[in-house]
Amino acid sequence: FAVGEVKESLIILDFVMDSKVAEECIRNADDVDEATEQILLQLFDIGAIKFGNFTLKSGVQSPIYIDLRVIVSFPDLLKAIAEKMYKLVQANGVKFDVICGVPYTALPVATAMSMLHGKPMVMRRKEVKKYGTKKIIEGIFKEGQTCLVIEDLITSGMSVMETTGPLNDVG
């Protein structure tokens, strides 16, 4: 296993031998700061980083699967991930008015970021309900506001586009 590159919380893994080697590589990666290293090690410890042969939503085959659905059971880790993502956004000078997490896995991260930093949040439904308000975007926002879209992992960008489309449609 070798860490090829760490860039804006995207980890590209080149080769997987076994989990002990993987853990050692995470610990020894040169371009990973201490906070990111701790997040990676915790993800590894809770079984969120899985090795094998996986088919991703995009159809791409991968020797690694990162299952961030489990972080909802680890509030300190969820908070650390939300803080790391928020710091990356701030460090890159991104200005925004509201936050929206891509359903479903990114919703807890977006919620944590919203709560930790007092930023309003909106939510995209995967499907429009046939009752109630029948909205695809829930929450309070104004036309023309800038929305920061949070995604847990990106391979093809398909899920992000499924969220940005309806956001753009409503303003």
Q: Is the pLDDT of residue 30 over 50?
A: yes
**93: number of CA atoms within 13 Å, CB side?**
0
Of 60, 37, 153, nearest to 101 by C-alpha is 153
* Average pLDDT for 54-58: 85
User: At residue 156, what are phi and psi to the nearest 5 degrees?
Assistant: -110, -20
pTM attached to this predicted model: 0.79
Q: Is the pLDDT of residue 38 over 80?
A: yes
- Taking the C-alpha atoms of residue 19 and residue 140, their distance in angstroms, rounded to an integer, is 45
Q: Is the pLDDT of residue 31 over 80?
A: no
- Taking the C-alpha atoms of residue 48 and residue 26, their distance in angstroms, rounded to an integer, is 14
**pLDDT one-digit tens code per residue, 67-112:** 999 999 999 999 999 999 999 999 999 999 999 999 988 999 999 9
Looking at per-residue pLDDT, the higher value among 27 and 153 belongs to 153
pLDDT of residue 159: 84
Taking CA atoms, 88 is separated from 27, 35, 36, 60, 61, in Å, by: 21, 12, 11, 27, 28
* Average pLDDT for 133-156: 88
pLDDT of residue 27: 62
Query: Cβ distance 78 to 127 under 8 Å?
Result: no
Average pLDDT of the chain is 82
Bond preceding residue 86 cis, omega within 30 of 0? no
Q: Is the pLDDT of residue 8 over 60?
A: no
Q: How far is CA 149 from the centre of its chain?
A: 10
pLDDT of residue 76: 97
pLDDT of residue 23: 59
